[in-house]
């Protein structure tokens, strides 16, 4: 589908949309929402915002996580992607779990507003990460429980908005779970219990990796890259290939490696205070790869002096390694997608198979909502996303950075001038030592 015209009111700026509210206005918006599903029922009506592969998969996982969940409204920037998602959901879900008709399917930059205006109790936010802060803010203000995919922003402006909205959500007793599914994966949970109990002592070092081969190696190029149509504007081409543009994805250190950085923050119990990094674009040279890097290496320093080496790479033909390892004064802990163990005086190995974490994260959210004690993962995923953003900023500029400066002083804002299908030349690829620190 070619989208050439905007509906009235869509040409808003991001800066206007996600201004952080004052304390007084936040308090005025609190309404003691508690449990928000249909009166006299535990039925939870879910709206899907962002109908790509991950959003569609999250909707299926949500329905499979708990009884009495129904997808009732859907929205995406592109009508063809919306239609494709609805077709897949129709094939995968029972009729009682999917009641979406064409009058509750919305396309365009304002589709999220229209989904939020529907009779839904909860929303799944799975549009490209750039849009997460404004979608999240609007969902909280609309009193919806939220599952949002990671990462939750691409720049410090977005992170500040997420933290403010998470605070408001807590006041409103809204449930928030993020797509950092390791936080809900059994062997990670068990390893973390032991780390926090002191089984490996004080952590003084660590390593984390998302080193992979080609992006989605083994899949045909045309299955994941949208070749540019002559009818597409720059904006449409970039939004259809959002993974390859920093303003939309945050680069792969933010979009993907955030999982591993989140595990490190979880283990240590806080975010880093400094970082210094490098990275580049050695094999990702063609214009269709947008302006992101293909490798990063960042050293993070934590408040207790612990140093963590972080590496991520997307390069065909290279050895994969997706894992986390932390070293303490009494032993070490290791985890990856399938295994987890501790070595040292308090040795431990997790033996059972972990339930599907992509389903479990929805199970935990729904359970907390129904109990009236909703989870709120907003601040922790914001801090893990900022950890990744901080590393990218260091690698892009070649500068060592402090957490306090990035969180409180950086003015970096990657948003486009307006949300319309406009001509939007891609920003140049970052050059360390030359790209300015903002």
Give the span between the Cα atoms of 7 and 305, in whole angstroms: 53
Taking residues 354-375, report their average pLDDT: 97
| Cross-strand pairs, 98 | 71
Write down the pLDDT at residue 51: 98
Q: Over the stretch 402-419, which tens digit does the pLDDT of each residue have?
A: 999 999 999 999 999 999
Per residue in 366-416, pLDDT (tens digit) is 999 999 999 999 999 999 999 999 999 999 999 999 999 999 999 999 999
Mean pLDDT on 97-112:
98
Between CA 406 and CA 238 the distance in angstroms is 26
Whether the per-residue pLDDT at 16 is higher than 70: the answer is: no
Q: Which residue has the tokens 């109790």?
A: 121
Query: Residue 219 has what pLDDT?
Result: 45
Contacts of 40 (CB under 8 A, 6+ apart): none
pLDDT of residue 226: 67
Supply the pLDDT for residue 213: 87
Model confidence pLDDT, tens digit, residues 241-254: 999 999 999 999 99
Mind giving me the DSSP string for 62-74? HHHHSSSEEEEEE
Closest CA to 10 of 149, 111, 137: 111
Compute the mean pLDDT over every residue in the chain, rounded to the nearest whole number.
91
Of the ranges 169-178, 220-229, 422-431, which one carries the lowest mean pLDDT score? 220-229
pTM, whole model, 2 decimals?
0.91
Nearest Cα residue to 288 out of 151, 396, 420, 426: 426
Q: Which residue has the higher pLDDT, 13 or 382?
A: 382
Q: What is the mean pLDDT of residues 272-281?
A: 98
Asked if residue 296 has pLDDT above 50, the reply is yes
Q: Is the pLDDT of residue 18 over 90?
A: no
| Burial of 152: CB neighbours in 10 Å, binned 0-12, 13-18, 19+ | buried
* Helix orientation angle between 258-268 and 186-197, rounded to the nearest 10 degrees: 30
pLDDT value at position 227?
74
Q: What is the mean pLDDT of residues 52-72?
A: 97
Q: Which two structure tokens, joined as six digits, stand for 26?
A: 């936040």
CA distance 404 to 410: 9
CA–CA separation, 254 vs 385, rounded Å?
6
Contact between residue 115 and residue 76 where contact means Cβ atoms under 8 Å apart: no
Percent of the chain with pLDDT over 90: 84
- Which domains, ranges and CATH numbers included, belong to the chain? 14-182+363-376 (3.40.50.720), 186-354+385-408 (3.30.360.10)
Q: In the Cβ-directed half-sphere of 375, how many Cα atoms lie within 13 Å?
A: 20
The torsion defined by the Cα of 180, 288, 292 and 281, in degrees rounded to 10, comes to 130
Alpha-carbon distance of 286 to 244, in angstroms, equals 11
Half-sphere exposure of 334 (CA within 13 A, CB side): 10
371 by Cβ neighbours in 10 Å (0-12 / 13-18 / 19+) ranks as: exposed
CA distances 117 to 1, 2, 70, Å, are: 25, 26, 17
Least confident of 7-16, 78-87, 425-434: 7-16
Q: What is the pLDDT of residues 225-240, one digit of tens each?
A: 567 888 999 999 999 9
């Amino acid at each position: 589908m070619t989208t050439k015209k905007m509906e009235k009111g869509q040409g808003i700026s991001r800066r206007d949309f996600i201004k952080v509210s004052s304390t007084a206005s936040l308090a005025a918006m609190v309404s003691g929402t508690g449990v928000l599903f249909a009166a006299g029922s535990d039925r939870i009506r879910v709206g899907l915002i962002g109908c790509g592969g991950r959003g569609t998969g999250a909707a299926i996982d949500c329905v499979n996580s708990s009884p009495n969940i129904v997808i009732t409204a859907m929205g995406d920037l592109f009508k063809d992607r919306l239609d494709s998602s609805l077709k897949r959901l129709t094939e995968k879900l029972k009729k009682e779990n999917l009641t979406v008709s064409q009058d509750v399917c919305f396309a365009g930059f304002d589709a999220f507003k229209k989904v939020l205006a529907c009779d839904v109790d909860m929303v799944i936010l799975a549009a490209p990460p750039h849009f997460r802060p404004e979608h999240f803010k609007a969902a909280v203000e609309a009193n919806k429980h939220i599952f949002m995919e990671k990462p939750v922003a691409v720049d410090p402006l977005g992170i500040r908005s997420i933290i403010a909205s998470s605070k408001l959500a807590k006041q409103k007793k809204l449930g928030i779970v993020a797509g950092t599914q390791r936080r809900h994966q059994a062997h990670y949970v068990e390893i973390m219990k032991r780390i926090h109990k002191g089984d490996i002592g004080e952590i003084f070092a660590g390593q984390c990796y998302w080193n992979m081969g080609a992006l989605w190696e083994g899949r045909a190029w045309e299955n994941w890259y949208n070749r540019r149509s002559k009818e597409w504007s720059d904006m449409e081409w970039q939004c259809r290939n959002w993974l390859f543009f920093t303003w939309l994805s945050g680069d792969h250190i933010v979009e993907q490696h955030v999982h591993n950085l989140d595990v490190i923050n979880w283990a240590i119990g806080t975010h880093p205070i400094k970082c210094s990094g490098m990275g580049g674009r050695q094999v990702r040279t063609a214009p269709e790869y947008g302006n992101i890097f293909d490798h990063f290496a960042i050293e993070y320093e934590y408040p207790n002096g612990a140093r963590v080496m972080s590496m991520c790479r997307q390069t065909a033909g290279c050895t994969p390694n997706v894992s986390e390892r932390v070293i303490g004064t009494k032993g070490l802990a290791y985890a990856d997608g399938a295994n987890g163990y501790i070595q040292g005086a308090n040795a431990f190995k997790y033996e059972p198979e972990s339930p599907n974490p992509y389903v479990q994260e929805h199970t935990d959210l729904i359970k907390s909502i129904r109990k009236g004690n909703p989870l709120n993962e907003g601040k922790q995923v914001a801090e893990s996303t900022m950890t990744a953003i901080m590393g990218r900023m260091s690698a892009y500029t070649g500068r060592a950075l402090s957490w306090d400066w990035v969180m409180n002083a950086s003015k970096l804002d990657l948003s486009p001038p307006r949300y319309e299908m406009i001509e939007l030349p891609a920003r140049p690829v970052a050059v360390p030592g030359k790209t300015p620190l903002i």
